[in-house]
Structure 1
Amino acid sequence: MNAKITKLLTLMLLVLGAQFINAQKQISGVVTDEKEPMIGVNVQIKGTTVGTITDLNGKFALRANVGDVIEFSYVGMETIVLTVGTENFYNVVMKTSKDVLLEEVVVTSLGLTRDKKSMGYAYVEVSGDQISRAGNPNIVNALAGKVAGVEIKPSSGMPGAPSQVLIRGSRAFSGDNTPLYVVDGMPISSGSDYSQNVTGSYYSNRSVDINPDDIENISVLKGQAAAALYGIRASNGVILITTKSGKGLAKGKPQISLSTNYTTDIVARLPKVQQTYAQGYYDDNTTAGFYPAFSYSWGPKITDLPDIAKYGGNSQGHAGQWWDPYKAAWVDPVAYNNAENFFGTNGTTLGTNLNISQATEFGDYTLGFGTTNQNGIVKNTGMDRYTVKLGANAYLNRSEER
């Protein structure tokens, strides 16, 4: 009896082994795009480490079981998935990824779209996420270090101060080297003639009014060919600013986003000043004299000044010579740090932004609110900005494909 059971089990194992061997087979095929064979396409059985790549003729071969799922992947192409059936040869056609196609189309002068490969001038695009992550209320300063060949020089650290933007260097020793700013196809006032002021600073252009959180992307067009449609105003280059809209959103409920950011500015280093000697000079190169009208640091030691009103002392009943007796009491002469008192506070920036966008079958819209409250590192300096942005599109032709 036991011998019969053993023989039966052996026979069943042989049958199952034969079926397993027959189920695994050699498959092959060719991978092409819309025109020619593709080299180096990754061919892998899903969920395993078994795979191969296509050769110079786009051909591949590997062993797989019926029912296995095989993935074909390549950079810039959509992944193809197929299930192994009774066939032994497969023709696989891969298509370009939609994401890659979107990246190849860019917005140029006057909002026209062009194929990036067909443009004959330098073009750089910075996304709105990169701008908002910088945490800078000035969109120009937020571009610093993000665009090759663009030099950005802040005129000062004060809130609302303008910045000099040079695309591929200065074009003139005098005059305006500022590029043209275009917001949603509309040129804005962007003049900042640094040659008119010996201090190197000038009035802010209107780009300071734009809320960085309202920006979809910023494009920098370099070279004269890039600005051909804008004329002589764009001889220094063009900065195209595209703001957010509801176009491209999934139709349905409104999308609401709320963001806030807080930054602090601290003076990294102040000049070192001596606090040992009072202001004044030596008389006849022999005697140190205290003269408040002179700012030379060649007076006597502060600790050696007599305690009288003439030197800022606190003698009683003496009419003040260098002070107002009705505002403060007399104090002993002490050193006064002008720089430390001038930069006596830390700068702070608080920004809050709200955006509401929606797309429907009739059109789309976006509504943005923003507040920015900035205090400078110098006392009693700051900037308060309140922005409202509304954009809408209506689909007048309902049959138009969107």
Structure 2
Amino acid sequence: MSDILISAAKLVLPGHQHDGQIVDMLIENGSIREIAKSITPKGKDVQVVDAKNAVVSAGFFDLNSNFGEPGLETKEDISTGTRAAAAGGFTEVAIHPNTNPALQSRSEVALVVNAAKGNLVNVYPVGSVSKKREGKELAELYDMKTVGAVAFCDGNHSVQQAGLMGRALLYAKGFDGLIISFAEDESIAGGNQMNEGVMSTYLGMKGKPNLAESLMVSRDLFLAEYNEAPIHFTTISTTESLELIKKAKAKGIQVTCDVAAHNLVFTDDEVVTFDSNYKVNPPLRTKKDVKALLKGLRDGTIDAVVSQHTPQEIEFKDVEFHIAKDGIIGFQTVLPFLLRAGLTDEEIVSKLVIGPRAVLKREVPTLTVGEPANLVVFSTTEKWVFNAASNKSKSANSPVMGQELTGKVLAVVNNNQLIENK
């Protein structure tokens, strides 16, 4: 790869000596060679990234995304998934085990790790807690960790048996593993389609109450405390869950959590159109919940924002709302959604760069001279249209497809590779 000059970017990375300053950054052979107010490259073979009025920071990290491989490659494979991730500014992604077969043993985890080698985007498998994600028998967690699993979760299945979840927490603690909880009590949720509230009553649809989530959060917090084990809650969506987690943190329980970007900007009012692209799980909640989530981001209760990238084929989305599959493609819309929600440059970096890596105890790229370049360049003001031409995913299930969005990722650099969004 030719040398890269990132020109006139605002560097945002807490603790960096140039944090908040406008700088040029020269990258040679995949490593940062120089950072200064102005750099004149000596060689001719230099690729210039014009970052005027843009931000440069360490690459985004996604704690919750879904590829289809293995088994569901018609939704998304590793090649298209990493391409979409890069277009969204993510240089590292943790993919959940919603595959067929599930990422439930050494073989599936190793397959993903090996298939993803050589990409700009680092792919980290999240192994399943239970075999086949059925919540009945504990999977071989340690075996999966030895070949690359960074955490364990049953994906979009919540572990219903308290005893199994307790054993998983205790076992994983023994080898510094992390259990991720998708919190939903199925006996309360009832397989219903949207948030329970005024809108579900108006539309005559059975609703999924906040209690289905907060009840499971409460249970898993008790289990984590009892076993003195860390736990991470993914895609928290309710006021009550946040209050429980905030109190648990104050009490000293080892708990972290994240929120999906779309749950910060959309509410259940969107479902009035019966557009199945607004069908997600957890469902879109109320304005009160969205307000609480934004407050939780700012007061530190929520550690990270995730894409919950969930590609679906058209035959699973272009149908009646009640039979449509859950999920939206999220990689490329995380940045625009966070800007729409009112987050600053610093808050975006906190929740997409620093927070996610802290959850998994991974080092944040330092962006210092001599270190490998793992970074994103993004504009908070540039507008672009999310359509078939700009969409890098194999699927197209997004409620903002065809719309003009504000906030664009201009370039990502990692593993001695550069991808620009023209």
Q: Which has the larger radius of gyration?
A: 1
* Higher normalized helix content (fraction of residues): 2
Highest RCO, 1 vs 2 (Cα 8 Å, sep ≥ 6):
2
* Higher normalized strand content (fraction of residues): 1
TM norm structure 2: 0.18
